[in-house]
Amino acid sequence: MIEPSYRNLRHEQPGPGIHLLTLDRPRALNALDGTTLGELACAVRGLSGDAGARALLVTGGGTKAFVAGADISEMQSLSPEEARSFSAGAARLFLEIEALPMPVIALVNGYALGGGCELALACDWIIAADNAVFGQPEVNLGIPPGFGGTQRLPRRIAPGKALELLLTGRQVNADEAVAIGLANEKVAPDALLARGIEMAKLIASRGPYAVRLVKQAWQRGQSLDLAAACAIESDLFGLAFSSADQKEGMRAFIEKRPPVFCGR
């Protein structure tokens, strides 16, 4: 497959099956304009069909920001109809990121505000640098979040805390983000990428088919009662026993050797 040429996005592979997408508009603090969102959509759709992809890391270019938000200079003159279309398009893209079969990890280096926080929330989990700052400050602009923030934030952290942050626009640092469950951990800025790659390599070493099933079970069960969610888990558990990875994993365990998974 020929790699598209991007202006505001870098796509790299720091290891077998590991992909790294870097939003690269550092002079604009990596703000999400139409071009950047379009390039991100192209990359995500390419990865969704890549059977060899095992993990995706998402970060921002430069040292100041993951993504400082949507591009306000591009948004300010939108009509209500155009604004709705802009919001709906980004929301669809973030749903596609969420639906990727491989785990997606946000490496938040600096500001993750507005659309940047929403992008991080669309990832499966977040590793924050010491200088990370999270927030949904849209109410300061006279608008609500438009890329899923009102829905994902209360699903990630305590609903009351989420509502407080959404209504006040208050920003939180890396320590508070970890304390409230918004970020999984914090690391030094110069260790962020290495930590992300370390986690991605760990995931890539596990059974790829099982990893996909775990993510599917987790996502599908979030909105269900426990009995229904456990029924989904049982279905997927049974499905795993039709896979070559299950046969190899259990055979390797019995033979006391490392498994060699094929992802099927």
> Does residue 192 sit in the same domain as residue 228?
no
Whether residue 171 lies inside any domain: the answer is yes
Whether the predicted model's global pTM rises above the 0.85 cut? yes
Q: Which of 121, 170, 114 is nearest to 161 (CA)?
A: 170
> Does residue 76 sit in the same domain as residue 38?
yes
> Does residue 220 sit in the same domain as residue 200?
no
> Does residue 170 sit in the same domain as residue 115?
yes
Q: Where a domain ends, among 162, 177, 204?
A: 204
Q: Band of the pLDDT at 3, cuts 50, 70, 90? A: low
Across the chain, mean pLDDT equals: 95
Domain count, the chain: 2
Whether residue 17 lies inside any domain: the answer is yes
Residue 81 to residue 36: CA distance in whole angstroms? 21
Whether residue 187 lies inside any domain: the answer is yes
Whether residue 159 lies inside any domain: the answer is yes
Active-site position among 118, 164, 176, 248: 118
Tell me the residue range of the domain where 237 lies.
208-254
Place of tokens 């604009």: 28
Residue range 217-242, pLDDT digits in tens: 999 998 899 999 999 999 999 999 99
Whether residue 4 lies inside any domain: the answer is no
For position 120, which CATH number holds? 3.90.226.10
Q: Band of the pLDDT at 1, cuts 50, 70, 90? A: very low
> Does residue 22 sit in the same domain as residue 147?
yes
> Does residue 154 sit in the same domain as residue 176?
yes
Whether residue 2 lies inside any domain: the answer is no
Active site residue 138: yes
What residue type is assigned to position 207 of the chain?
G
For position 241, which CATH number holds? 1.10.12.10
> Does residue 38 sit in the same domain as residue 169?
yes
CB atoms within 10 A of CB 84: 12
> Does residue 109 sit in the same domain as residue 237?
no
> Does residue 152 sit in the same domain as residue 235?
no
Local structure of residue 3 (DSSP, 8 states): P
Residue range 79-120, pLDDT digits in tens: 999 999 999 999 999 999 999 999 999 999 999 999 999 999
Residue range 29-45, pLDDT digits in tens: 999 999 999 999 999 99
> Does residue 196 sit in the same domain as residue 110?
yes
Q: Is the pLDDT of residue 252 over 80?
A: yes
Local structure of residue 54 (DSSP, 8 states): -
> Does residue 159 sit in the same domain as residue 222?
no
Query: In the chain, which ranges are E strands?
Result: 9-15, 18-23, 55-60, 65-67, 104-108, 111-113, 125-129, 133-135, 172-173, 185-187
Whether residue 106 lies inside any domain: the answer is yes
Active-site position among 138, 185, 198, 248: 138
> Does residue 21 sit in the same domain as residue 146?
yes
Whether residue 3 lies inside any domain: the answer is no
Helix axes 80-99 and 115-122, enclosed angle (nearest 10):
30
- Taking residues 246-264, report their average pLDDT: 93
What is the full DSSP assignment across 186-251? EE-GGGHHHHHHHHHHHHHTS-HHHHHHHHHHHHHHTTS-HHHHHHHHHHHHHHHTTSHHHHHHHH
